[in-house]
Structure 1
């Protein structure tokens, strides 16, 4: 079974698979963002955006996209337990989607680096500049909780978004033949040699939007595959949406 979400909404597609108790893998692509859902007897037992797995990744994926190709590949049922009962999963997915939309009005992505203006607990973790993802790890809380704290901190004037992102620290070096994606971004070819991070590349005069678009394309094609590429791609596409680049 395959088609496009412009003819059947994603929620209806999910309910169709659930109602017929199908087992297999549903692959969905919305723009550059891929989602893989594993079903067993109609229940969702696995979800991933590239190497970012689980409910946290799933709930960042848009539940009501206007279009995007999909394909369902049947397979035998597994013994894996559901991530959540189906109805509860859809309800929580919708709720968390709404929360992400609200928090992103002030903080465009969890990769955004924030600085503490008034470092009162628990926001002192942002002193010196830290991304929301890094703060979530430092606090030991789910990413959505960290994003809510960051949102409240910015709204109350306790935090200030800096003009950089966690992915600025990424170093990319190609060996041998350059990938097709890199060839389309000639301005970057001489700079992505592994001797400088992406923040330094941007500081040299390369527009941040150009670097971001390159990363999205390279991650989508697999030409660049660092650990954490799933959450990195999700954050980059969020940033592009906010900047009107998508």
Structure 2
């Protein structure tokens, strides 16, 4: 029986952006958490693979994401124009394969880019131990510059948190909360100064029988090909220690629960 391992990655940075199915020329959205195509692409870059190289066993890895600090959405608005002062081209091609000019001459194109700001995610990648060990080595000393969804979003240190032989779900459940001291302070203020001893963070884990379907399973990174398919995942909440001690005189479990009246 082939031994398996789980690689734990910390994906955190001032900005990160994970493309989804809504991508368009003038608007680039971000998913609320790292996509599988984005994470596998990051690992392929760390290995030094070419874009048109087959993914092979990388596509068979299972992945889980724990959203420790979801961050806030940042909208970047800017405009695009041709420095020569000529009309912009459209996405349509003529018979010779060249881009056509816009039907009504357009000299300025407004565009939007969306990012996750100050987010931190724990990502687990599970597969054959030999492959996962190679990925850990490559991620520590990558062959190419790594980015969190876009080239303008480099990851902060540390990226690699370690290897473990436990299952993907157990690895995500056992690792400490990734919130920085600043993020913990912000979280405490949002809780009106309360300091609960635990926090429930959402996790998304690959599961063939999962009831949620995502369209970010990578097939290829070659331009002009069918590059993604679907995968099934499950969602769950993982309870983590916050490192805070309950306020003296506050009974355990007395923190405000907005869903208590609903019987949840």
The two structures share one fold, judged by TM-score above 0.5:
no
User: TM-score by structure 1 length?
Assistant: 0.25
Larger Rg: 2
More helix by share: 1
More strand by share: 2
